[in-house]
Structure 1
Amino acid sequence: MTGGSGTAGRVLVAGVGNLFLSDDGFGVAVVDHLRRHGELPAGVELVDTGIRGMHLAYQLLDGYRALVIVDATQRGGEPGTVYTLEHDLDAPRDGTDGDVQASPALDGHGMDPASVLALLDGLAGSMGLERPVGRVLVVGCEPSVLAEGIGLSPLVAAAVEPAARAVTALVTELMIDEGARR
């Protein structure tokens, strides 16, 4: 992993989603909760990415030990179920060949996490950088409502605090692992 000096130990927590599509705003709500109530270790950055996936890809070029994406995640479970998943960075990306122009759905205001990572791969390759992110994890919540509307459904709103605790535990573990390597 490369990036600026001192970036190897940093972890970025990105809340993604659209606040105007009900439960899709879950990631943003969790980051807001963490800002108000969370006690995160040094070296952890919080960002409300919202629907600015392209911005997130460019920020990741700075180099991070890990990215934790917080988002609504449809996996077929009961609404409000919180998942922790790890993205396989070595899996082939459909629709990409490493070229920035081939990245799917280049939309500065609505890219899904897989598209963000595909764009990141292309950007890093075009700049001659090694992979700027060591691991990508997702703390997701099964949505109930993704229709137009402001505010989370009751089941997803109830999952915000447990998801914030899951993020805190995850980044604490990531930072402890980093400290043990030094």
Structure 2
Amino acid sequence: MHNRKDKQRILVLGIGNILWGDEGFGVRVVEEFHRRYAVDENVTVLDGGTQGLYLVGFLEHTDCLIVFDAIDYGLPPGQLELLQDDEVPRFTGAKKISLHQTGFQEVLSAADLLGHRPRELALIGCQPLDLENWGGPLTQPVRAQIAPAIEMACKLLAQWDSPAKPRSEPLPASKRLLGNNIDHANYEIRDAADLEPCD
């Protein structure tokens, strides 16, 4: 039986801005993953939000990394792509999806320079439809990819000998990664209802 010292250190990371339309995809996926699945002690689940280069410190202690993010691949909205290892652009020449936060390419580039690049890297990205809707929820094509993105991550964790285990019941709001006021149920669904025209 492996103990924690013997097992690979794995980070499951969601990044993005939930207040900016589809850019919240990565955070919403990691939030739902944490709500539905328990993981081994060697696995850390993190809402990276828009912390940018502050995330480099987390990569220092990571052997295997899964990142959920909204990525502008130039594909149809809602299309999900899995990039692994050298397929993931790590350098700042890659196109950014937004101008108001540090791109994850910069985080990986900094980790490379410091010698902290994870041995294995998987980027699960979804093509956004709308990055301009300040204060708005995920669009339907992007929201529909939350469950498939989680399924991809579960397959990777199983390959890395640290399978995620379905919880008997989803976590209550008080134990989720995000607070009650900005979790999916309290923020996005309420927000969408608020936007419906009055009679």
TM-score > 0.5 by shorter chain: yes
Evaluate the alpha carbon distance shift between residue 120 and residue 7 of structure 1 in structure 2; reply closer, same or farther with a 3 A threshold.
farther
Which residue of 104, 110, 119 corresponds with 1:119?
110
Q: 1:92 to 1:111 in 2, by over 3 A?
A: closer
The equivalent residue for 1:135 is 120
1:43 Cα deviation (Å)? 2.1
Tell me the distance in 2 between the aligned counterparts of 1:82 and 1:50. 20
Gaps of 5+ in 1: 96-108, 125-129, 177-182
Give the alignment's TM-score, normalised by structure 1.
0.74
Residue 168 of structure 1, aligned match among 146, 154, 157: 154
Structure number with greater Rg is 2
* Counterparts in 2 of 1:92 and 1:144: CA distance versus 1, 3 Å: closer
Cα deviation for residue 89 of structure 1 reads 8.5
The two structures have a TM-score, normalised by structure 2, of 0.68
Give 1:80 shift: 1.3
Whether the aligned pair in 2 keeps the contact of 1:74 and 1:142 (CA below 8 Å) is: yes
1:73 paired to 2:71: yes
Q: What do you get for the CA RMSD once the two structures are aligned?
A: 2.8
1:96-115 to structure 2, matched below 5 A, reads: 110-115=101-106
State the number of aligned residues.
154
Query: Percentage identity across aligned positions?
Result: 29
Distance 2:90 2:146 in 1: 32
Distance (whole Å) between structure 2 residues aligned to residue 54 and residue 40 of structure 1: 26
> Structure 1: how far apart are the matches of 2:45 and 2:112?
22
Distance, in Å, in 2 between the alignment partners of 1:155 and 1:20 is: 17
Instruction: Say whether residues 1:153 and 2:151 are aligned partners.
Output: no
Q: Do the aligned partners of 2:90 and 2:109 also contact (CA within 8 Å) in 1?
A: no
Letter in 1 for 2:76: E
Q: CA deviation at 1:92?
A: 8.0
